[in-house]
Amino acid sequence: MNKESLKTFVEENPKLVTNRPSTSYPELSVLKYSKQVFYKNLWNDYLEYCRGTVIDKDYNLISAPPLKIYNYGVEERSPKIDPETKVTAYRKVNGFLVCLTWYNKDILVSTTGSLDSDFVGYAKEMMLTHMKWEDWQIALNTNSDYTFFFECVHPEDPHVIPEKNGMYLLGFREKSWDSEIKLYGTEMADMLKDFAKDTFNCFYAESYHMTMVELQSTVKSVKHEGYVVYAEDGKCAKIKSPWYLVNKWVARNPNTDKLVDLKNDIKKNVDEEYYGLIDTIRLNIEEYTALSEQDRLQWVRRYFEKEIKK
């Protein structure tokens, strides 16, 4: 990837990605994919970069968030990982993504779509629960070649999984177009933990080391969102727990009216991990609608457990 080719793609595909100018930083903008990229599964190498990347007017890279991470076994571009491959799995914290980077002698705070939204304010509020702004400035200035990404949990942004309010360090990436996130192995997991405790005085995502097949078994019984998985060869994916997916499905889909109405494009209003479920329900709509509420929950759970095995 380079700035020239990305610039060309963004300019030629305004329906797929927007270059959103910032009001707080008029010289900067944020690259953000459109909703149809999700529900039509239009992802490509360029759009993977367009989930919060901050650029200046010349497309110089200012803040480098993590690239798109696919749901394991769900999306076509999700990586294939051999069952016996050893992986490092980080517990997925249920909040919203925040990126911090050093810019123009201060901290630049961004989300996946903005430098100006209420969520930027929420992040700054939570940052101050860990240490003073001046201490954050020192930490980011000392590591000015990197963008650090956190999951922010704020009381004004409730999620399915209750989490302790604050900032959770997820990783970091060098501010260059082709930089990678390398969080495989105990050494990198320990380094991330040390960064969280010693540099940012914040929380961190717990990590685990096992084979992929062991992780696929483990995730079926946990009572949290799931894991982000890193393999030694650089492959990375998300794997959600059936417990989380079922609870989220129930919370956001209290009735089946939209599922029964085959003309309704429900995929526009749900997350991508549910696309396969929607297709399967509609293929078996008579069976599904004949079930009781509790039996539907079990039906949905069995579907996700089967998907995890892929």
The whole-number pLDDT of residue 204 equals 94
CA atoms of 214 and 48, how far apart (whole Å): 28
Q: Say what percent of the chain tops pLDDT 70.
A: 92
Q: How confident is the model over 108-120, as a mean pLDDT?
A: 94
Average pLDDT, the chain: 89
What is the identity of the amino acid at 254? P
Q: Which of 64-73, 124-133, 296-305 is the least confident region?
A: 296-305
The whole-number pLDDT of residue 287 equals 79
288 DSSP 8-state letter: H
The whole-angstrom distance between residue 3's C-alpha and the CA centroid of its chain comes to 23
> Contact 192/35 with Cβ under 8 angstroms?
no
Q: How confident is the model over 175-190, as a mean pLDDT?
A: 91
pLDDT in tens, 229-261: 999 988 999 999 888 887 777 666 645 566 656
Provide, for the chain, the percentages of residues in helix, strand and coil under a 3-state DSSP scheme, each rounded to the nearest 5.
35, 25, 40
Residue 56 pLDDT more than 60?
Answer: yes
The whole-number pLDDT of residue 306 equals 76
Q: How confident is the model over 115-122, as a mean pLDDT?
A: 95
Terminal C-alpha separation, the chain: 30
Residue 275 pLDDT more than 90?
Answer: no
- pLDDT classification of 29: cutoffs 50, 70, 90: very high
CA atoms of 160 and 162, how far apart (whole Å): 7
> Contact 64/148 with Cβ under 8 angstroms?
no
Q: How confident is the model over 273-287, as a mean pLDDT?
A: 79
What is the CATH T-level fold of the domain 3-240, as seen in this structure?
A: D-amino Acid Aminotransferase; Chain A, domain 1 (3.30.470)
Domain spans of the chain, in order of start: 3-240, 245-308
- Tell me if the pTM is above 0.95: no
